[in-house]
Amino acid sequence: MKVVRAYKFRLYPNKIQAKEMQTHLWLSKNLWNDGLEFAKQLYVDYQLFPSRQAYQEISKYSGMHSQVAQDVLIRLYLAIKVKIKRKKAGLKGGFPRFKSTDRVKSLHYPQSGFSLSGRKLKVTPFGEINIKKHREIYGAIKTLTLKKESSDRWYAILTAEAEVQPVPMKQGEAVGVDLGLMTFATLSNGEWIKKPRHMKKYEAKLAFRQRELSNKKLGGKNRRKAKLMVARIHVRVADTRKDWLHKTANNLLSRYSLIAFEDLDVQGIAEEHGKGISDAGWSIFTNIISYKAESAGCAVVFVNPKNTTKDCSHCGTCVQKEEHEREHNCPSCGLSMDRDLNAAINILNRATGGTPGCRERRNVPEHAQGRIADLDK
């Protein structure tokens, strides 16, 4: 089967290149706005919308690489088409809008106009740009997007299509994972994954810079500088975190055949758990695991999160607890264990069909069993 993957690399354009790329973002914005103006005028005059050919013609005079310009107008053409379709179906939905310079951050090369060799990315018309290619690209490169992020840094996003052999499902242990605030994850076998210390360090640095930023005068030069600084730390925090999340995901994928999480997208449940969506770390983590699972021969299951913290993982009794109570103590069967471990076992049971009401000690790992008091009295 064929799989398309995206690869993101940092670019180091020289001053002239950076300035030119910035100009092309501006051209791209103008082209979009001109195309939109044209569509609006055509509709006012003739109640018609521009054809694809008409847009192709306009794209020739943009001053940009022909394919990049065409891509801008094709996106506009499709956006208008969607709007017409929606209107016919009696649905609301805005007409495409005029864009300001801040809104246009990328240039898309759908086919050609670029080539990659070693540490240089050759892009028409900017020439050879230095690129930090920190990982191998598998398969044939298809598209390039040049993207400027809020940290004022440029990135190249390349997509490549590769032939992938389906991996047979592996046999072996299953694990339930409870994602938390204090501990990053608690596994149903009693292991803990702690948040790494270096992430905390960056978070502290970020908080400091953010305070500094809020003290700067609005509109001042120093404020812009401080803003850039904050954006840069954001990038570093995100990179460090992503790197760690990838390593942690690989570790779990290599050890288990089935990994179960709570489905935290189920509405209302996240709040009930005190797990606001604020910490994007969880969804990034479960996304990484999900998309890597297939090639690792792993199954990933998302279970209903209702009462995973309250239900007793041994007898199924619902045991109410406050957010600060770290222990699960079951009045019915006497099970006493860490609250997150109890939740992780519930998650595993739900994923594997183990019924919590049964008296077997199925899925309760040996060292956790040691902490079960007077189970069979």
Q: Is the dihedral of CA 53, 54, 55, 57 positive or negative?
A: positive
CB of 311 to Zn ion, least distance (A): 9
CA atoms within 13 A on the CB side of 353: 0
Separation between Cα atoms, residue 27 and residue 33, nearest integer Å: 10
Answer for the pair 38, 58: CB distance below 8 angstroms, yes or no.
yes
Point out which residues pair with 156 in neighbouring strands. Answer: 9, 146
CB of 342 to Zn ion, least distance (A): 9
Using the rule CB under 5 A, which residue among 150, 290, 307, 317 binds Zn ion?
A: 317
Question: Judged by CB under 5 A, which stretch of 23-31, 252-260, 262-270, 312-320 contacts Zn ion?
Answer: 312-320
Q: Does 330 bind Zn ion (CB under 5 A)?
A: yes
Q: Does 314 bind Zn ion (CB under 5 A)?
A: yes
- DSSP state letters, 238-290: HHHHHHHHHHHHHHHHHH-SEEEEE-TTSTTHHHHTT--TT-THHHHHHHHHH
CB of 315 to Zn ion, least distance (A): 3
- Identity of the residue, 330 or 351, whose beta carbon is nearer to Zn ion in the bound complex: 330
- Identity of the residue, 300 or 315, whose beta carbon is nearer to Zn ion in the bound complex: 315
Using the rule CB under 5 A, which residue among 315, 341, 364, 372 binds Zn ion?
A: 315
Identify which of 165, 177, 152 has the alpha carbon closest to the alpha carbon of residue 248. 177
- Identity of the residue, 59 or 188, whose beta carbon is nearer to Zn ion in the bound complex: 188
CB of 210 to Zn ion, least distance (A): 45
Give how many residues touch Zn ion by CB under 5 A: 8
CA distances 118 to 15, 128, 142, Å, are 21, 11, 17
Q: Does 368 bind Zn ion (CB under 5 A)?
A: no
Answer for the pair 252, 259: CB distance below 8 angstroms, yes or no.
yes
CB of 373 to Zn ion, least distance (A): 11
CB of 285 to Zn ion, least distance (A): 30
Which residues bind to Zn ion, rule: CB under 5 A? 312, 314-315, 317, 330, 332-333, 335
